[in-house]
Structure formats: C-alpha cells, structure tokens
C-alpha cells in the first residue's frame, strides 16, 4: 500500500461507487495517484470493483478500528488501557517490544489494520486481512520474574474464548497451549514475548490475531486449517466491540493470573480444552511424532500426557487430533 492507499480506502469504506475524479478531488490528488493508490489496495487483498462510468466500489464495506467506538464499548475499563491504532506497520508485537524496552506504560495496546510482517508462534508468519482480521498487542507488566510467567499463554487463550462467549459465539475452544479453534480449524492465535529478569520485574507483550472474516484467497495462502468468526456464526463482526471485549476479559484473567498463577484458571481452561482426554499426535521440537493420550494440564500450564509409560509433563510441542483408523 502506498501513502494514499488508506485515505482512498476510507472514502470507499461506505461500499458505494465513487468515481476516480471525485476521489481525486476529495483528496487533492491526481487521478493517476488515485489509480496508483488503488493498485496497492488490490495487492493487499482488498476486493475492489471497477466499473467504467461509475468508478470504484469495495466488494465489502470496511468497519475500521475506531478509538472512540472501542472506548465506548469498553466503558469504565477503558481507563486501564492506552489504545494506539495504526493503519499499516510490520508487526504490532515488534513495535510494542521496542516500546516496552524504553518504558511504555502497562496496558499499552497497539492495533493495526494491516501488518506487513505479522509473526506467529514457532517462527511462522501470521497472515491477516485488512478489515477481516483483528490484530493487536497488549503490554502487561508483572511485579514478579519471567520464571513465574509459565501458564500465561494459556491464560490469554482462555480470555479470548471467554470474550467470544460473551459476544454469543458458541463452540469455540482451546488447543494447548493457546490456539483458539472452531470445528477443528484455527480462529485465533497468541504470540507472547517477554522481557525482564528471572527474579522480576518482568513484562509480556501479548500479541493476538483473530480471524473475523477471511476471504477464500487469504485462507488459501495459510498452511493450516483456518476458519473465521463469520463461519462461527457471528455474521458481521464488530471489530471494535470485539477488541473491547477481549481487553475486558484479559484485564480480569490477567489480574487472577497475577494473584493466583495459572492454578487459579486451570479449571476454566480445562473446561474449554477441546482435546481433553483425547488421543492425539504430539509433535516434539525434535520432529519426533508419537501417539499420546491427553490427561490434562498442570498448575504451570504444562500438558500432562500418557504415552504408554506413565504420566509425562510436556512444556513444548504441537498437538493434532489422531485420525480415527
């Protein structure tokens, strides 16, 4: 996208036709600049209709992130967060990690309409879509050290599912450690990066990506089974309300985590664990894959499994459901 792309998109956001000339006049640009700006928009995956004699129209209107609407939806809890909105940055986690290192405040939130280098767990890329994803990072400062942050990523997954429940989504659940799934497909992911000393204080940059409405073209570029909130029955997804709801649940869950550790959230997490007491394949970082039975999670958020030789504690790995033979 170039410097004018977002300005043009905002004029088109109503979903109506706008002529190239009218757009050029409104933005005090040449028609060639409008055309150029729109090339970038299409390259970013936004579907655009261009009809001779009528102009340009978006295939679907965009519900932009809006600070005032987020604060209204947050109500009293808005005071706990400092929300900063960006059109396009490389990664909200990358920016917030830099800000955290130079003293950004507890509760700082950075959200972006588009990321050019969104990052996922285990070095993967995170693919979002302009207007179709919610992508943000939250800075949370803890009085204790990084050693006490085990279980944090599970706590965050729980907050997301609880926020979705609050908004009427039924059937979303968790896959250890923190993927949010709906009907076996990924709906949201969490990337947590930490800074600080073993003995404290410490802080976490909590990056969250939620698929709201992904086009078939975007879904095709993702190398795992994905779904979105529209398919989970949410219809038009109000992203501002969604952000407010997730932040609200995070505030509650993180306060409990700070007080009681993950132990205080274990029951709520396990009640939403989709693979609880299931037979799964466990992929270790070494690449070794083996069949295990999931027994549960412990008070540190580690996975408890039985691979045939008694109870084992797993701290890193990927799960997938076993295909029935």
Residue 317 DSSP code = -
Provide the 3-class DSSP secondary structure of residue 267. Answer: helix
Choice from 126, 140, 257, 269 touching ligand BTN (CB under 6 A): 126
Stretch that binds ligand BTN, among 130-138, 150-158, 169-177, 283-291 (CB under 6 A): 130-138
Residue 237 DSSP code = -
**Backbone dihedral region for residue 135 (phi beyond 0: left; psi -120 to 50: alpha; all else: beta):** beta
Choice from 131, 207, 301, 317 touching ligand BTN (CB under 6 A): 207
Q: Based on the shown chain and the rule CB under 6 A, indicate whether residue 86 belongs to the binding site for ligand BTN.
A: no
Choice from 106, 121, 256, 276 touching ligand BTN (CB under 6 A): 121
The nearest distance, CB 128 to ligand BTN, in angstroms, is 6
Position with the least CB separation from ligand BTN: 189
Is residue 121 annotated as part of the catalytic site, yes or no?
yes
* Cα atoms in the 13 Å half-sphere on the side-chain side of 178: 26
Q: Based on the shown chain and the rule CB under 6 A, indicate whether residue 140 belongs to the binding site for ligand BTN.
A: no
Q: Based on the shown chain and the rule CB under 6 A, indicate whether residue 130 belongs to the binding site for ligand BTN.
A: no
Provide the 3-class DSSP secondary structure of residue 311. Answer: strand
Burial class, 294, CB count within 10 angstroms (exposed 0-12 / middle 13-18 / buried 19+): buried
Nearer to ligand BTN, 33 or 178 (CB): 178
CA torsion angle 179 65 45 12 (round to 10): 160
Choice from 131, 189, 196, 301 touching ligand BTN (CB under 6 A): 189
The nearest distance, CB 1 to ligand BTN, in angstroms, is 17
The nearest distance, CB 136 to ligand BTN, in angstroms, is 6
Separation in Å, CA 136 to CA 96, 116, 132: 10, 13, 13
Residue 73 has φ and ψ, to the nearest 5°, of: -70, -25
- Return the active site residues: 121, 186, 322
Q: Which residues bind ligand BTN (CB under 6 A)?
A: 91-93, 115, 118-121, 124, 126, 135-137, 179, 189-191, 207-209
């Amino acid at each position: 996208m170039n410097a004018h792309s977002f300005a043009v998109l905002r004029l088109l956001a109503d979903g109506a036709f706008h002529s190239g000339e009218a757009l050029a006049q409104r933005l005090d640009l040449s028609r060639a600049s409008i055309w150029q700006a729109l090339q970038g928009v299409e390259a970013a995956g936004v579907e655009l209709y261009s009809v001779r004699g009528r102009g340009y129209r978006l295939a679907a209107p965009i519900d932009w992130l809006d600070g005032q609407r987020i604060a209204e939806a947050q109500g009293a809890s808005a005071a706990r967060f400092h929300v900063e909105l960006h059109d396009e940055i490389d990664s909200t986690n990358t920016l917030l990690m830099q800000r955290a290192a130079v003293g950004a405040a507890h509760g700082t939130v950075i959200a972006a309409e588009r990321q050019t280098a969104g990052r996922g767990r285990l070095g993967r890329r995170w693919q979002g879509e302009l207007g179709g994803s919610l992508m943000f990072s939250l800075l949370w400062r803890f009085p204790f050290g990084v050693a006490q942050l085990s279980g944090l990523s599970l706590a965050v997954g729980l907050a997301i599912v609880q926020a979705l429940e609050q908004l009427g989504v039924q059937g979303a659940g968790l896959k250890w450690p923190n993927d949010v799934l709906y009907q076996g497909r990924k709906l949201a992911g969490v990337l947590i990066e930490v800074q600080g000393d073993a003995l404290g204080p410490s802080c976490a940059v909590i990056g969250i990506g939620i698929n709201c409405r992904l086009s078939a073209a975007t879904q095709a570029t993702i190398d795992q089974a994905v779904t979105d909130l529209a398919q989970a029955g949410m219809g038009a997804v109000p992203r501002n309300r969604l952000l407010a709801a997730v932040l609200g649940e995070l505030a509650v869950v993180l306060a409990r985590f700070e007080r009681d550790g993950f132990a205080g959230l274990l029951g709520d997490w396990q009640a939403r664990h989709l693979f609880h007491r299931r037979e799964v394949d466990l992929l270790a970082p070494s690449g070794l894959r083996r069949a295990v039975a999931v027994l549960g999670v412990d008070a540190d958020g580690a996975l408890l499994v039985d691979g045939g030789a008694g109870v084992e504690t797993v701290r890193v790995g990927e799960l997938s459901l076993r295909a029935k033979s």
